[in-house]
Structure 1
Amino acid sequence: MSQSRSPSHKDAYSLILDAIDVGMFKPGDRLVESDLADRFGVSRTPIREALQRLETQSLLERDGRSLIVASLDHNQMAELYVVRRELEGLAASLAARHATAEEVQVLHDMVAADDALIDDPVELAKANRRFHQQIHLASHNRYLVQQLDLVHRSMALMATTSLAAEGRGKIAQDEHKAIVAAIANRDEAAAGQALKDHISVAFTTRLKQDADGRATNS
């Protein structure tokens, strides 16, 4: 592949993926090649290649001849959280072992700054992704980072954030502080367990959100 095409391909893929991640495109939304090219100012060829790549990764699915943003059913969501819990826990344990002092300081600074976002679920969700990604990097295991990247891409297919639940922002922040404290103390077992518990609470919160949504729509 030539050097002139690969940056455009990467940009188109990243632009669409980011748009799904921030909720610009939600599960069920139809993605049209020409519309995306106009929206992002990218030619149709890299847009087409990006859509094919996203379909291969199961982030998009076919609805007749159209491509729509995929959605997760209850079982898929449960399976995703099981995998996420184990991989995130491993990342935290490895971070406790391998993170540099500077990486630990960055985690401390992130959590402190994120306290200001407790009442803003959208911004807190973005900050939450940055925080988890920082732990992934601090694990210093490239293969684990790659797998967690795939998991977090699939998380974007959930239409709402568990951080929107009443009181969840403050609780999540307290959980983040406990995770960072364990990493800073180089306590691998405690760091892994703290992050696993954090994911379990998030999953429980999301299940309650879904149940409330079904009750409202019934």
Structure 2
Amino acid sequence: MTQTKPPQTDAYSMILDAIDSGVYKPGDRLVESELAERFGVSRTPIREALQRLETQSLLERDGRSLIVASLDHNQMAELYVVRRELEGLAARLAARHATEEEVAVLRGMVTADDALIDDPAALARANRRFHKQIHLASHNRYLVQQLDLVHRTMALMATTSLAAQGRGQIAQSEHDGIVAAIEARDETGAEKALKEHISIAFMTRLQQDAGAR
């Protein structure tokens, strides 16, 4: 019997995941040969992936080398403005279109993620999954595509706002409120709750940056 080989993740996704998980941080240099060896692929798909990531402004030039990009204060502020509006729209549409099963999954995520409050890195990963689930529950493919781009760019922030003292527990309470509004099919309430959630996350990050200076 012929065995089917499992599909290989493409080079672009593997590099993107490495940036998103913090393997490569803002300012880190990415070298074709090293990436090819790490991921077990040839240099051609690595080169194409790097070009794609540069086009998306996730990588930038440092002389002849490519490094993981970083966001300055203005770029971060602009990103949060866009994220707040798009996430709010996703929550509004989720309240309108989400199936009962999708709502149940969101509720289950909030319950399970409560156990991660003391682990900011794990909670940050769970947070991304939670927000992605809301995006999908909006049932609007174009909105999901735009939010995917926003969240990829969020990976260029070296720290998570969930690492701030007490932020994890507060964020979980905010998630609970967002899901409650979606459960109630309260479109306005869901949009408002998620926008406020993003605004508080932004303020927390600004406070983190101010404390680091």
Please tell me the TM-score bracket, short chain as reference: over 0.9
State the Cα deviation string for residues 50-79 of structure 1 (Å, max 9, x = none): 000000000000000000000000000000
State the Cα deviation string for residues 101-140 of structure 1 (Å, max 9, x = none): 0000000000000000000000000000000000000000
- Are 1:181 and 2:180 matched, yes or no? yes
**2:171 is matched by which residue type in structure 1?**
A
Secondary structure in 2 matching 1:82: helix
Hey, what does 2:163 align to over in structure 1?
164
**2:197 is matched by which residue type in structure 1?**
H
Hey, what does 1:11 align to over in structure 2?
10
Consecutive unaligned residues in structure 1, runs of 5 or more = 1-6
Hey, what does 2:190 align to over in structure 1?
191
Hey, what does 1:26 align to over in structure 2?
25
Q: Determine the C-alpha separation between the residues in 1 that align with 2:128 and 2:85.
A: 17
State the Cα deviation string for residues 172-217 of structure 1 (Å, max 9, x = none): 0000000000000000000000000000000000000000000xxx
Hey, what does 2:4 align to over in structure 1?
none
Equivalenced residues, count: 207
Q: Determine the C-alpha separation between the residues in 2 that align with 1:126 and 1:157.
A: 15
Q: Determine the C-alpha separation between the residues in 2 that align with 1:80 and 1:150.
A: 10
Deviating above 6 A after TM superposition, structure 1's stretches of 4 or more consecutive aligned residues are none
Secondary structure in 2 matching 1:152: helix
Hey, what does 1:83 align to over in structure 2?
82
TM-score, with length taken from structure 2: 0.96
Hey, what does 1:3 align to over in structure 2?
none
Secondary structure in 2 matching 1:158: coil
Q: Determine the C-alpha separation between the residues in 2 that align with 1:161 and 1:184.
A: 28
Secondary structure in 1 matching 2:10: helix
Q: Determine the C-alpha separation between the residues in 1 that align with 2:195 and 2:42.
A: 43
Q: Determine the C-alpha separation between the residues in 2 that align with 1:11 and 1:161.
A: 27
State the Cα deviation string for residues 65-106 of structure 1 (Å, max 9, x = none): 000000000000000000000000000000000000000000
Q: Determine the C-alpha separation between the residues in 2 that align with 1:202 and 1:11.
A: 32
Q: Report deviation, 1:29.
A: 0.2
Q: Determine the C-alpha separation between the residues in 2 that align with 1:168 and 1:180.
A: 18
Q: Determine the C-alpha separation between the residues in 2 that align with 1:122 and 1:42.
A: 28
Hey, what does 2:144 align to over in structure 1?
145
Q: Determine the C-alpha separation between the residues in 2 that align with 1:70 and 1:111.
A: 32
Secondary structure in 2 matching 1:205: helix
Q: Determine the C-alpha separation between the residues in 1 that align with 2:207 and 2:25.
A: 20
Hey, what does 1:107 align to over in structure 2?
106
Hey, what does 1:202 align to over in structure 2?
201
Q: Determine the C-alpha separation between the residues in 2 that align with 1:48 and 1:194.
A: 42
Secondary structure in 2 matching 1:166: coil
Hey, what does 1:155 align to over in structure 2?
154
Secondary structure in 2 matching 1:68: strand
**2:191 is matched by which residue type in structure 1?**
G
* 1:56-95 pair list within 5 angstroms: 56-95=55-94
Q: Report deviation, 1:11.
A: 1.1
TM-score, with length taken from structure 1: 0.94
**2:112 is matched by which residue type in structure 1?**
A
Q: Determine the C-alpha separation between the residues in 2 that align with 1:212 and 1:11.
A: 39
Q: Determine the C-alpha separation between the residues in 2 that align with 1:50 and 1:78.
A: 27
